[in-house]
Structure 1
Amino acid sequence: MERVLEPELMEDLEQVFAYAKADFEQPHKKFVQRIKTLVKDPSFSGKALDLGCGPGDISRRFAKVFPLCKIDAIDGSKPMIDYGINTTNPDLQTRLNFIHGKLPEAKLPEQNYDVIFSNSLLHHLPDPQILWHVVKKHSTSGTRIAIMDLLRPGRNYMAESLVEMYATNEPEILKRDFYHSLLAAFTIEEIKKQLKQAELSLTVEQIGDRHVFISGIADQH
């Protein structure tokens, strides 16, 4: 099944609220657990970067797991960033910096980060190299990199089945967006080719029936 592009940004307020209030407890919890395993040090006090942070759920989870770290969280959707700011407790706001900006031209506060993570940004990008370029640009030797995204099923009916399995009780707009996101996602082989082109040595593994996890430690470049 060929990839079908979807809109790069989620800026419709109904979309934003549906996404922000959706039940992503299990995938988000598991993603942060995987980042925690990658970072290893529970007293990590460095700087982290969340690319395509959306409404900020994963950034907040990361901040709670690592109470000494600081996070820059960027998204191209202003409504997403506004939602993230408005739903973040004041005690976390001192460490969690939300940034409205579109990659790759957006300016980030730091040149290099100790941890770079991203969830569900890759499939939104018309050119996947945008993500890998930013990851490479803002990493240095030892940077922990963790990317999670959807995998494109082989057939349309498989995408429909995943929507019914995981979004049965969600609003219709979220079901529609989930379906389109599955069609816009990449296969494991495509992601491996992207990483080879970007000269990034990262591990690519399928986790569950709809997600891919891309991770590793950056080499000096």
Structure 2
Amino acid sequence: MIPRTPEPELMNEPQQVQAYAAADFESSDQALVECIDQLLLDSGRRFVPGDCLVDLGCGPGNISERLARHWPTCAVVGVDAASQMIETAESSRRRAGMARERLRYVLAPLPWHGLQSQATLIVSNSLLHHLHDPQKLWSCLRPLAGDQCLVLHRDLRRPSTAMAVDQLCERYVADAPEVLQRDYRASLQAAFTVEEVKAQLRDAQLDHLQVRELEDRYLEISGWIAGCQSGLDQPSA
């Protein structure tokens, strides 16, 4: 197994922000929303009007905006520590004509505990591998969560060999802009393995959450938790 090589926590270079905002993540973003739908269906639960959905590490707001469109009666909060990403997300929100009551963005690093209400969903996509200390993510889940909060976190997983890194880069970003090719390689090398994530969750007392490999390059963490004020965690779905 190749060792983990951390990358910068923030993606704040204008070239990076522009490239990620312009990139086509349609299929992966939609797959995340469909996974949330399936987890809700499997549990027999649903979001109700006024529920708060939190997108941590929201970047340019692609997933936050998709959540707001898919659940239009809920309030979505996107959080990111990169000012350029938040500015881009805000511009997109205004162009889409979405009111801040439905979708708002917060510039803040993790751990973030600034939610005024309790979250019914906490989601992140490709956030975990950016964190030098993964407990920055896991430690903020319970303070944000309501009594029945669905969590879903997707990320890359680190390949076992340098050759596997090369193969994934060739397969998925060979025709992408140079900045995306560079970042994708760095992200693969900074990503965690399934076993490393399971150890992180044990340390955070969240080991009831499910961790699984997804396709040839991803991992997924999902399940139900209860917030600090809400008693025991719910069983994972």
Asked if these proteins are the same fold (TM beyond 0.5), I'd say yes
| Residue 158 (structure 1) aligns with | 164
CA 1:11–1:126 in 2, change beyond 3 Å: closer, same or farther?
Answer: same
CA displacement at 1:163 relative to structure 2: 1.4
8 Å CA contact 2:209, 2:224 repeated in 1 = yes
8 Å CA contact 1:150, 1:186 repeated in 2 = yes
Q: Which letter maps to 1:164?
A: E
Trace 1:115-126 onto structure 2 (pairs within 5 A). Answer: 115-126=121-132
| Residue of 131, 140, 147 corresponding to 1:141 | 147
Structure 2 residue 190 is the aligned partner of structure 1 residue 177: no
| Residue 3 (structure 2) aligns with | 2
Aligned length: 220
Deviation string 1:16-58 (CA, Å, 9 cap, x unpaired) is 1111111212211111111122234566320111100000001
Q: Which letter maps to 1:210?
A: R
| Residue of 207, 210, 219 corresponding to 2:214 | 207
Structure 2 residue runs of 5 or longer lacking an equivalent are 233-237
Q: Which letter maps to 1:49?
A: V
| Residue 27 (structure 1) aligns with | 28
CA 1:59–1:132 in 2, change beyond 3 Å: closer, same or farther?
Answer: same
| Residue 75 (structure 1) aligns with | 80
Q: Which letter maps to 2:221?
A: I
CA displacement at 1:112 relative to structure 2: 2.4
Deviation string 1:38-82 (CA, Å, 9 cap, x unpaired) is 234566320111100000001111111111100111000000000
CA displacement at 1:113 relative to structure 2: 0.7
| Residue 67 (structure 2) aligns with | 62
CA 1:111–1:63 in 2, change beyond 3 Å: closer, same or farther?
Answer: closer
Secondary structure in 2 matching 1:142: strand
Worse-superposed segment, 40-49 or 189-198: 40-49
In 2: Cα distance, 1:20 partner to 1:138 partner = 27
8 Å CA contact 1:42, 1:65 repeated in 2 = no
| Residue of 182, 196, 202 corresponding to 2:202 | 196
Identity %: 38
| Residue 235 (structure 2) aligns with | none
Secondary structure in 2 matching 1:44: coil
Q: Which letter maps to 2:85?
A: M
| Residue 96 (structure 1) aligns with | 103
CA displacement at 1:140 relative to structure 2: 3.3
In 2: Cα distance, 1:32 partner to 1:7 partner = 27
Structure 1 residue runs of 5 or longer lacking an equivalent are none
CA 1:47–1:101 in 2, change beyond 3 Å: closer, same or farther?
Answer: same
Q: What is the RMSD computed on CA atoms of the aligned residues?
A: 1.5
Q: Which letter maps to 1:117?
A: V
8 Å CA contact 1:101, 1:107 repeated in 2 = no
CA 1:90–1:162 in 2, change beyond 3 Å: closer, same or farther?
Answer: same
In 2: Cα distance, 1:43 partner to 1:73 partner = 17
| Residue 186 (structure 1) aligns with | 192
After TM superposition, the score normalised by the length of structure 2 is 0.88
| Residue of 209, 213, 225 corresponding to 1:218 | 225
Deviation string 1:103-149 (CA, Å, 9 cap, x unpaired) is 12x45232521111111110000000110001122123311111111
8 Å CA contact 2:57, 2:124 repeated in 1 = yes
8 Å CA contact 2:113, 2:144 repeated in 1 = no
| Residue of 49, 53, 64 corresponding to 1:48 | 53
| Residue 19 (structure 2) aligns with | 18
Worse-superposed segment, 77-86 or 211-220: 211-220
